[in-house]
Amino acid sequence: MHPPSPAPALPAHELLAVDARTHRPVHLALTEHGLAVVKEKSASSSSTLVVPYLNLLAVSVSHRALPSPSASADAASHLSNISIAALVPRNKGDSKSPLKLWTLNGTVYEVGGTDGHAQGGEGRKCAVDDWCKEAEDRAYAGLERRRRLHCIVNPAGGKGKAKEVWSDVVQPVFDAAGCSYDVSYTGPPASPTNATALGQQHDPRAYDALVAFSGDGIVHELLNGLATHRAGHGARALRETPIVHVPCGSGNALASSLYGPDKVGDPRWAALVALKGHPMPLDLSSLTQPGSSTRLFTFLTQAFGLMADLDLGTEHLRWMGDLRFTLGYIQGALARRTYPLTLAVHLVSGSKQRIAARHNAALGRARGASGELLPDDDDVPPLGLPRFADALPGPVKRRFEAIPSQEELDQLEEGWYEFDLTRDGVFFFYGGKVPFVAKDVMLFPAADPNDGLLDLVLVGPMGPIEALTAMDNAASGGLFAHPAVTYLKASSYRLSFPAPAAGKEGHVSIDGERVPYEPFQVEVHRGLARVLGMGAWEGSARIEGLDDARK
């Protein structure tokens, strides 16, 4: 097909090209809402695609001189070939559809804002350059154009698909965007390519982000590696190295909380975050145990009881993906097992109504995008809690020998409290920093990843039917309002429990990873780490039914 005949000069920011594949005209316009692409399908029909600038990856042009000047005095002495790459919904018109890589290559025929006849070929060439520069300026407004990324791939994580996700799905996106990257494949714990070792040796000056192709476990190891960075620069390494989570595991709690559960199954969205996301502060917590001198950093969860058993007691079922958690929960509910413990907690609030009200009010703000950050210290902050052998740092206001009623919890003031639940035990105990613990389980709907507080959930003993139905609305945070659920906001806590019964195996799960089955204590360090996100924790949602005017 021949190029269209010259028409009146195109408006500024518009361009006319001929598609190299179909040989049909394509009209391109930089609009307020994105790049508008109108393709001629036939003499009487066309299709329109509007690509938001957020989804636009690259716009480039190359010029090729013609072998001989055209006979026409005002014709160009070169060809300008334009290439465009973007991520667009796989199902046109459905903004929630998974993304696909879309490209367009064509020869520029006319460009707006210039009079090609008056300016000649060189003027048109400059106009094409200007158009492409304007497109990329809009696509990367306020961002570094070509980020340097270190991709950490765990080939054994989750269902073992991380390597495939990297090579088949995300690498083509990075190549299309023109960013630079290096790739490391993680090895076993003692190897130099273990994720913790990679974090310890990471050079923040060489890369703009670490991109983890894994479940939450590799993120945990990377953060602990950065926190124990060589030469005592842990805080600086964490501050200058945002993490991107490309979810390839069976839980993917971080990605579910940061991107929203509807985007967890779309690794191209995570790739877009790596290219265009903004650093957002993330609290880390220190965990210590009496039998270890190692200080462990936890960014996600601390689980004891049934939920720890689900995490660690079903590892042989990883091939099942998320289904292994469902199966393990059903088995635990039917067994009616309870777990004795003693919890000493520095309580900030135990009122579900006040917790819900503060959470809902905070949703109106860009939570996480501008949270409190630590001073520019080089090393991580010192521990604030004393050793296990020492007394708590403050007086215990009250001791309970059973889980208190919600009315009692509503009346508690801030301070240290002790819950001795060795008699009745609990179904499970969970501490967390982000809303989701798995794509379909929002266990901490009031969690704010940068409020300097831990969300704690205590679930008392339940009968099998009650336990099975309690998780019916787990995907939307419905467990929060369940009468058997005690929900606390705390700044630190100490958890102890007896040794497991003879023949039983005990589990303590920290960010989904196994630690020794012995007491532990946790304290929060606000804004110590960074993740890349699009400005908000998309997994956060309003808590319905418990909001009131009290603050």
Q: Would you please indicate which residues are annotated as catalytic (active-site) residues?
A: 216
Number of H helices, E strands in the chain: 13, 25
Q: What is the distance between the alpha carbons of residues 292 and 303, in angstroms, rounded to a whole number?
A: 18
Residue type at 263 in one-letter notation: K
Joined tokens for residue 10: 């195109």
Other C-beta atoms lying within 10 Å of the C-beta of residue 69: 12
Phi–psi pair at 257, nearest 5 degrees: -75, -35
> Parallel, antiparallel, or unpaired for β 148-153 and 99-111?
unpaired
| Full 3-state SS string of 452-516 | CCEEEEEECCCCHHHHHHHCCCHHHCHHHHCCCEEEEEEEEEEEECCCCCCCCCCCEEECCEEEC
Q: What is the distance between the alpha carbons of residues 443 and 481, in angstroms, rounded to a whole number?
A: 11
Nearest of 244, 261, 147, 215 to residue 534 by alpha carbon: 244
Nearest of 378, 383, 384, 382 to residue 235 by alpha carbon: 378
Nearest of 83, 90, 181 to residue 135 by alpha carbon: 83
The contacts of residue 250 (CB under 8 Å, 6+ apart) are: 158, 159, 215, 318, 320, 321, 322, 324, 325, 438
DSSP string across 423-456: TT-BSEEEEESSSEEETTEE--TT--TTSS-EEE
Q: Are 257 and 439 in contact, with CB atoms under 8 Å apart?
A: no
Phi–psi pair at 469, nearest 5 degrees: -80, -15
Which residues share a beta bridge with 346?
416, 492
> To 10 degrees, the CA torsion angle through 92, 95, 96, 102?
60
Residue type at 225 in one-letter notation: G
Query: Would you say how long the chain is, in residues?
Result: 551
Instruction: Match 């393709």 to its residue by tokens.
Output: 39
Residue type at 121 in one-letter notation: G
Q: What is the distance between the alpha carbons of residues 318 and 305, in angstroms, rounded to a whole number?
A: 20
